[in-house]
Amino acid sequence: MKIIIHGGFFSESDQSHEVKTAKQNSLKEIAEKAFQYLQTHSAFDTVAYAVSLLEDDPLYNAGIGSQIQSDGVIRMSAAIMNGETQKLSGVINIQNVKNPVFVAKDLIDEDDRVLGGNGAKKYATEHGFENFSTEIPQRRKEYEAKLNNGGKGTVGCVAIDKNGKLAVATSTGGKGFEIPGRISDSATVAGNYANEFCAVSCTGVGEDIVSNATAAKIVTRVTDGMSLETAFGKTFAELKAIDGFAGAIGIDRNGNVYHQDSYPTMVFASFDGEFFEVFS
């Protein structure tokens, strides 16, 4: 059993040492909570739980930490994928829910598993998700000043459970000041993909991740026999060729954990019940 989570990027030039320390402590705490949850739950349930904790922390660009778009509105996207069934479900540009990842998870048994905009919100309301504003004062100040938080971000979790089953979940609050209606990678197989061999979650510039089909490429290459490290390396070499900005985390069916970024520093933490690895 292993867990790895990410929370976007950290920029030394735009963010303080205090923010860095806060993210390190937060990621370590969430990774540990998620690992404990994994003891009695499947990988699929656990990745949703872990991502919900990240969505609840305003340090990250998801849930209550989400960015504000150019028209002053927050729209969020999230997805989850079960490696065993190879089913993906997600929401795109949903508004006014606390945890988009849980709405995405609820959709996994539907015939129509990826919903957007008003349809996603209507589904959430009909399935008991309360109306909730994810805007915090800091984000409104940044929007009004036409600034962002210095961290291109998204949050995600990959887990392998005691039965060797893999799952992944990813959630984002956008890049900030984007054109309303923009769709990035988080609710697509480019940013969030899993099968029985490997699971990968991405963060960074959605357009770059989609152009490179990053998560799907890594998982496919591992499925075809590449090692996890080699698959990451080849995929990120292709990302570099288009000057892509991205980071990714992954676990293969043998329990190997790997992470890589194209423009340091992706913030992440992994835990296997004994050893932590936290970004530095």
- CA atoms of 82 and 131, how far apart (whole Å): 27
Residue 155, marked binder: no
Strand, coil or helix: 258: strand
Q: Assess whether 154 carries a catalytic annotation.
A: yes
Q: What is the CA radius of gyration of the chain?
A: 17
Position of tokens 């915090």?
136
Residue 63, marked binder: no
- CA atoms of 186 and 143, how far apart (whole Å): 22
* Of the candidates 252, 260, 245, 248, the residue with the CA atom closest to the CA atom of residue 220: 252
Main-chain dihedrals φ then ψ at residue 140, nearest 5 degrees: -65, -40
- How far apart, in Å, are the Cα atoms of 222 and each of 117, 124, 127, 137, 230? 34, 35, 37, 43, 9
Residue 92, marked binder: no
Residue 71, marked binder: no
Residue 186, marked binder: no
- CA atoms of 280 and 148, how far apart (whole Å): 22
Annotated catalytic residue, options 85, 125, 134, 154: 154
Residue 140, marked binder: no
The answer to whether 172 touches 64, Cβ cutoff 8 Å, is: no
Residue 113, marked binder: no
Cβ atoms within 10 A of the Cβ of 56, count? Answer: 15
215, amino acid identity: A
Residue 203, marked binder: yes
Task: Show binding-site residues.
Answer: 182-185, 203-206
Q: Which residues are annotated as a binding site for substrate?
A: 182-185, 203-206
Residues annotated catalytic, as ranges? 154
